[in-house]
């Protein structure tokens, strides 16, 4: 069998490879061509407006880049460039609305966001007059979310531990998993209706922060269960077997080995659940409604919250109340961000320990 022995120098190999790659400036040139072609088309076709022009420019860019890459680099490189462009475009399409919302809330919210806004209430403040604050709503939200977390997080973790460690695909485990899936997709207003009819009308519970916390905990439980379940399944089986080999009972293995190993993910999942319910409005309308004064007792009487505060101020419709609504939305975003950062710090500290 004859073997063709041919030596290619490094310079020849470099030149051969460089001839099959598009120059770096191709992307910029293709983008400029696509934008110019789309702008020109807008004058001679029904395509008009920023959105239509941008969509056509994007499609034209995809066609031009893929065609050039296919002609110069070959089929594999063309497909790779097309997939990369589509992935980056999807990322951009997800980030642009998020950044736009954050910037809008920040710019509009700073008009009324100050120290007085955070330390005063809306008691005896006219909707038409500037001033007033959010202290009563901030206290209410913190208490309601705390009650919801105190109910939902332990129940969610216990349910996840049962599904992973004890369920073994039993009928009860399948039933729990099914109902968790159902609860994940229920609208938030359904949780409020359940608490309103089951606890307030039937059992005589007052419309209060406690009722709001119960409604929010219903929304938290499926998020905590699913996130905790996934984290527990990621713990290697070898850790459990090593603990069992040392004679450690199963419940102590779960408490001392499994849960600490998955603590970072469990804390993150719990904070995601908290962030999920902090901005809910519909359940609170049915369970606690609104007050313009501070009510530190979550077991007696209506209690304000940040989402209800924003809803109330937007409903007033005056320039002063709309400014307060944007400032309330900014406060809500900052509160969720602080809670998430705190959870990350706690998880990092526990991991280091």
Provide mean pLDDT across the span 33-54. Answer: 75
Rama region for 124: left / alpha / beta (φ>0; ψ in -120 to 50; rest)? left
Instruction: Summarize the confidence of residues 218-240 as an average pLDDT.
Output: 92
Assessment of whether the complete model's pTM goes beyond 0.75: yes
Mean residue pLDDT of the chain comes to: 85
Q: 115-140, pLDDT tens digit by residue?
A: 889 989 888 888 888 888 899 999 99
Pairwise CA distance, residues 77 & 51, whole Å: 30
Check pLDDT > 90 for residue 160. Answer: yes
- Average pLDDT over every residue of 60-83: 85
The percentage of residues in the chain with a pLDDT greater than 70, rounded to a whole number, is 92
Nearest to 207 by CA among 289, 309, 304, 292: 289
**Domains with residue ranges and CATH for the chain:** 23-104 (no CATH), 135-352 (1.10.3720.10)
Over residues 259-311, the pLDDT tens digits come to 988 888 888 888 889 988 998 999 999 998 888 889 999 998 889 999 999 99
Q: What is the pLDDT of residue 141?
A: 93
Q: Is 204 left (phi over 0), alpha (psi -120 to 50) or beta?
A: left
Distances (CA, A) of 334 to 22, 27, 109: 45, 38, 11
Give the pLDDT confidence score for residue 155 in this predicted structure: 94
Q: Residue 326 pLDDT more than 90?
A: yes
Q: What is the mean pLDDT of residues 188-203?
A: 92
Residue 213 phi, psi dihedral angles, 5° rounding: -65, -40
- With a cut of 60, say whether residue 10 has pLDDT above it: no
CA-to-CA distance for 302 and 187, rounded, in angstroms?
23
């Amino acid at each position: 069998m004859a073997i063709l022995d041919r030596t290619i120098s490094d310079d020849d190999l470099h030149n051969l490879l460089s001839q099959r790659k598009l120059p770096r400036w191709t992307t910029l040139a293709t983008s400029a061509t696509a934008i110019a072609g789309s702008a020109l088309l807008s004058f001679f076709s029904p395509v008009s407006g920023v959105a239509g022009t941008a969509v056509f420019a994007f499609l034209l860019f995809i066609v031009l880049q893929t065609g050039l890459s296919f002609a110069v680099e070959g089929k594999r490189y063309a497909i790779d460039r097309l997939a990369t462009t589509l992935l980056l475009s999807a990322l951009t399409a997800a980030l642009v609305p998020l950044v736009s919302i954050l910037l809008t809330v920040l710019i509009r919210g700073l008009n009324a966001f100050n120290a007085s806004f955070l330390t005063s209430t809306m008691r005896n403040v006219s909707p038409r007059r500037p001033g007033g604050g959010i202290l009563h709503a901030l206290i209410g939200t913190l208490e309601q979310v705390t009650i919801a977390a105190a109910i939902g997080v332990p129940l969610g973790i216990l349910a996840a531990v049962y599904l992973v460690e004890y369920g073994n695909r039993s009928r009860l485990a399948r039933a729990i998993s099914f109902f968790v899936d159902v609860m994940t997709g229920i609208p938030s207003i359904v949780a409020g209706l359940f608490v309103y009819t089951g606890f307030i009308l039937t059992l005589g519970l007052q419309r209060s922060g406690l009722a709001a916390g119960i409604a929010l905990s219903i929304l938290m439980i499926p998020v905590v269960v699913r996130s905790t379940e996934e984290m527990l399944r990621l713990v290697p089986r070898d850790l459990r077997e090593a603990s069992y080999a040392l004679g450690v009972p199963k419940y102590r293995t779960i408490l001392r080995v499994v849960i600490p190993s998955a603590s970072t993910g469990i804390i993150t999942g719990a904070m995601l659940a908290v962030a999920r319910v902090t901005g809910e409005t519909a359940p609170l309308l049915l369970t606690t409604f609104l007050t313009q004064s501070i009510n530190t007792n979550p077991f007696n009487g209506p209690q304000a919250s940040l989402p209800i505060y924003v809803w109330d101020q937007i409903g007033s419709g005056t320039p002063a109340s709309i400014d307060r609504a944007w400032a309330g939305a900014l406060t809500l975003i900052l509160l969720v961000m602080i809670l998430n950062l705190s959870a990350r710090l706690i998880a990092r500290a526990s991991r280091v320990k």
